[in-house]
Structure 1
Amino acid sequence: MVIKAIKRYYKKEINRCQSCSMPLIYDKQHLGGNIYCSYCHDGESFINNGMTLGDMQRKVDHLLLSRHSHIMVRIYIHLRLATLRRWRKF
């Protein structure tokens, strides 16, 4: 039972938008094969092309705060955003 829960969590974790970290299974307009959600990418370019990592962190934090998310979740996502493909520095 624990193994199934871990596998389910892992599947959701690897299928996240590589810009905002939203699990792609929750995006009803997601274009299959795209690594970005429909809120961040329209299939050709980023919707908010001039957005910085700091802007995205503030946007996601505001959303999580409005949903009364636990502070540890907000901190985790704040740190996690910097590891996503769109924001990584090579």
Structure 2
Amino acid sequence: MHIFLKAIKHYYKKEISRCQSCSMPLIYDKQHLGGNIYCSYCHDGESFINNGMTLGDMQQKVDHLLRSRHSHIIIRIYIYLRLATLKRWRKL
């Protein structure tokens, strides 16, 4: 049971600390600037790297990356839908 709870805690930590632009878990970003809600691939600390990018562009980019990594279709759909809920793309 202890291993199961540890696994849940690990995945929960990844889920709540995702880049608010591309949804990548920040724990995998080796160049992440602490305190920033965006990964180093999306934001350089001053501004977005691809400032003209739209939500549709990001969805295509992330889907292409997930396809190249042979991710399951359920994960690709989940991330595709989740992107619209992130801070960069959310419409208030």
| TM-score bucket (shorter structure) | over 0.9
Q: Write the letter of the residue equivalent to 2:80.
A: H
TM-score by length of 1: 0.96
Number of corresponding residues: 90
- The 5 Å alignment of 1:8-87 reads 8-87=10-89
In the alignment, the residues of structure 2 paired with residue 55 and residue 68 of structure 1 have an alpha-carbon distance, to the nearest angstrom, of 20
Quick one: percent identity of the two aligned structures? 87
RMSD: 0.7
How much does 1:6 deviate? Answer: 1.3
Q: Which runs of 5+ in 1 are unaligned?
A: none
In the alignment, the residues of structure 2 paired with residue 4 and residue 13 of structure 1 have an alpha-carbon distance, to the nearest angstrom, of 14
